[in-house]
Amino acid sequence: MDLASLAQLDRSHRRHDDVMSQLLDAARRLAAGRPHDTDVDVVREAVAYFERAVTRHFLDEEGSVFPRLSTRRPDLAEALAALSAEHPAQIALQNAVAECAKQLDGDARFGVGKQLLEVSERLAELHRSHVAKEDEIFSSAGNALTVLDDADIVAEMETRRGRDSENGRGDGEGGGHIGNGGGGGGGGGGGGGGGRGRGMGGGGGGGGRRAFERAPTVIASPSARA
C-alpha cells in the first residue's frame, strides 16, 4: 500500500540530499579560496532550508509518524526513539553552519570557508547515516500503518505547511498539498481535508499525538554560545 505520508517523507529526504550536496560543493570552493559568485547565496539558502523545512520534517517524524509506527510495531519503538535522539545533533551542526554563513562577507571568508567545510562534512555524514536508517525502516515497516493513520498524518503535515504558508514561508518540498496522485493520492488528500475538519481528535493513536507534537530541541553551536 502506497502511503502519502511516507511519500512526503521520502521527498523531504531527497530534497535534503540535494541541499547537502549543493552546500558541500559551495563549502569546498570557499575553503579552497576559489568560490563561485553564487556560493555564498547557496550557503545562506541551505541555512534557510534547515531552519524552515528540516525543522518541520523532524516534527512530521516525531509528532506524527514515529508515535503511530511505534504503536503499530512496538518492536521498532527503541530504534525510532534512537532516531529522534539524533535530531538535536543535526540541529546543532545546522546552527554551526548558520554561524559560519554569518561570517562569509569580508576578508575572513577564506578562514571561515575552511570551518564551514569541516562542519558541513560532519553534518552531511550524520545526515547520510540518519536518513539511511529511516529509509530502511519506512521501506520495511511502512505497511504497518493503516489508511486512517496515513490520513491523520497527512492532515497534520498539511496543518504544519498551512501555518508556514500563512507566515509567508514556502515549504521547498514540492507544494503544500500532500498526496500520491491517482486513487491512492486522492484518498490521502481526502483524509487530510477530513483531518482538519475534525481537529486533532480521533483515529490511529491520535489521542496521544499532542504530547509528541513539539519542536525539536535546538542546541546552539559553540560559537553561538560564546
Task: Give the pLDDT score at 114.
Answer: 94
Looking at every residue in the chain, the average pLDDT score rounds to 80
Total domains, the chain: 1
CB of 156 within 8 A of CB of 199? no
* Grid cell digits, residue 104: 562569509
140: CB partners within 8 A, 6+ apart? none
CATH code at position 193: 1.20.120
Closest CA to 103 of 89, 117, 113: 113
Task: Give the pLDDT score at 179.
Answer: 58
Task: Give the pLDDT score at 203.
Answer: 39
- Percentage with pLDDT > 90 across the chain: 65
Tell me the backbone φ, ψ of residue 117, rounded to 5 degrees.
-65, -45
Q: List pLDDT tens digits, range 116-174.
A: 999 999 999 999 999 999 999 999 888 899 999 999 999 999 999 886 555 555 545 54
Q: List pLDDT tens digits, range 44-96.
A: 999 999 999 999 999 999 999 999 999 999 999 999 999 999 999 999 999 99
Task: Give the pLDDT score at 161.
Answer: 87
Task: Give the pLDDT score at 216.
Answer: 45
Domain residues for the domain of 18 are 4-225
* Grid cell digits, residue 218: 535546538
